[in-house]
Amino acid sequence: MTEAVAGTKATSQSVTTAALLALTAGFVDTVGFIALFGLFTAHVTGNFVLIGASLVGGHEGIVGKLLALPVFVLAVAATRLFILARERRARDATMPVLIGQLVFLGMFLGCGLWLTPFSDGDAPITIATGMCAVAAMAIQNAASRTVFASLAPTTVMTGNVTQVVIDLVDLAAGGQAEARARLHRMVPPVLTFTVGALAGALLYSVVGHLAVLVPILAIAAVLALHRRA
């Protein structure tokens, strides 16, 4: 009985963690896109579409979009090296990784509040602010493949939506326990990513860069969940 309760609590914590991380990704990506001249921070390869579009139209912030990928790669590599170092000492890396993401989100918030309004997408202050957000989301991307590998992906939703549709079709065609379990794991992040994207746009339009407090609180909640566990 105790084991069953513990298993239920662990499952609930995993679903809540994935949902909060997905909300963070949707929120930060949307705020970055609106505030930083179309910069994608959680899903950096999307920046290359905008770079391509700039060849035939006038788009600002090209330097930041070009820098986003190398900054993202360096942050992922640094996160992985840190996790490997913790593993060699038989120490869990989850909480330090979350703290690292919180630090960069805090820098994103601080730079945005201090340096706004941004009038030039290629200005150093605009680029520096954007790279703080890119680093924060790079850490989350790395964590989703390592310390949170058991969770559904929380930053790019295309694969999750595809799997949800496949599982819904499988259930309608006769039902599978595995499909039902996957839906339980993947639907919450898809929903909260959507909520995060919508909330990011709405809150940014009302309170400006102060809206970044929401993903900071979300990651702090994940940190509190794992600290309690």
Going from N- to C-terminal start, the domains of the chain cover 14-228
**Banded model confidence at residue 119, pLDDT cuts 50, 70, 90:** confident
Q: What pLDDT, on a 0 to 100 scale, did the predictor assign at position 7?
A: 53
Helices (H), 116-176: 124-145, 158-172
Q: What is the mean pLDDT of residues 66-84?
A: 96
Single-letter residue type at 138:
A
Q: What is the mean pLDDT of residues 20-37?
A: 96
Class for the domain spanning 14-228: mainly alpha
The Cα 221–Cα 229 span in angstroms is 12
Higher pLDDT, 5 or 11: 11
Position 202 pLDDT exceeds 80: yes
Max mean pLDDT among 88-102, 106-120, 170-184 falls in 88-102
- Supply the pTM of this predicted model: 0.91
Q: What is the mean pLDDT of residues 133-138?
A: 97
Q: What is the mean pLDDT of residues 207-222?
A: 97
pLDDT tens readout for residues 164-188: 999 999 998 887 788 888 899 999 9
**Banded model confidence at residue 156, pLDDT cuts 50, 70, 90:** confident
The Cα 11–Cα 24 span in angstroms is 20
The pairs formed by 3-7 with CB atoms below 8 angstroms and a separation of 24 or more are none
**Banded model confidence at residue 5, pLDDT cuts 50, 70, 90:** very low
